[in-house]
Chain A
Amino acid sequence: SQTIHQWPATLVQPVGSPLSLECTVEGTSNPNLYWYRQAAGRGLQLLFYSVGIGQISSEVPQNLSASRPQDRQFILSSKKLLLSDSGFYLCAWRQGYNSPLHFGNGTRLTVT
């Protein structure tokens, strides 16, 4: 069966520090991968998605970036965090478009 791992679970970082969140999927190949952010409230905002190795599409311009160095690995990065980057970051995968999206457990990031 497929599983998705996301770490760390919580993170407290000072403003201006770098960020690296990692996500890996097991038990499948060539998944579509996604990074969402959920700020205060409930909305889930799509940040990046990838349909293959090295293919990254950005939905919202900001100081974050994403990379997919391997088929089942998705990384969210920032060179310098802003206070507004605080939130709940969720990695997700799906096998094609007409299939459910499955989420990792999320990373709660607090920028101080």
Chain B
Amino acid sequence: EDKVVQSPLSLVVHEGDTVTLNCSYEVTNFRSLLWYKQEKKAPTFLFMLTSSGIEKKSGRLSSILDKKELFSILNITATQTGDSAVYLCAVDLPTSGGSNYKLTFGKGTLLTVNP
């Protein structure tokens, strides 16, 4: 059973559009939620969210967390072709032993921005 669910799985937009990517999670003892961008190679870190209602912003990208409703959104405004990538959401979940935490990733959203 997936604990981190992203939607949509894929999205095609035109340059200049605004997109909203969703990530919902199921976890007790929430610690943090992270967003990554993955192009051809390794994922690169975008944001880490630990508190509810506080927006993190970097240029055209922003993200917010709702701890009560257990979800986060990633917004990209004025999209560019360079934004085309897989966007991954990850949440710290307790390990099977319960004494450590591991980042568990969703399946990602494939964003394609057409010129």
Which B65-110 residues sit within 8 Å CB-CB of chain A?
86, 88, 90, 92, 95-97, 100-105, 107-108, 110
Q: A42-B38, A42-B107, A94-B103 are in contact. List 11 more A-B contacts (CB 8 A).
A: A42-B108, A44-B105, A46-B103, A49-B102, A51-B100, A90-B42, A98-B32, A100-B45, A101-B34, A103-B42, A103-B43
Which of A34, A90, A100, A103 has its CB near the most chain B CB atoms (within 10 A)?
A: A100
Chain A: interface residue total (CB-CB under 8 A): 22
Flag whether A43 is at the interface (Cβ < 8 A).
yes
Contact with A along B31-70 (1 / 0, CB 8 A): 1101000100111110010100000000000000000000
For the A-B complex, the count of residue pairs with Cβ-Cβ distances under 8 Å equals 57
Flag whether A27 is at the interface (Cβ < 8 A).
no
Chain B interface size, under 10 / 10 to 19 / 20 to 34 / 35 or more: 20 to 34
Query: Given A57-B97, A98-B31, A103-B42, do A46 and B104 touch, yes or no (CB 8 Å)?
Result: yes
- Find out whether the CB atom of A57 lies under 8 angstroms from the CB atom of B100: yes
Which A34-59 residues sit within 8 Å CB-CB of chain B?
34, 41-44, 46, 49, 51, 57, 59
Contact with B along A89-105 (1 / 0, CB 8 A): 01000100111111111
Closest Cβ of chain A: how far from B28's Cβ, in Å? 15
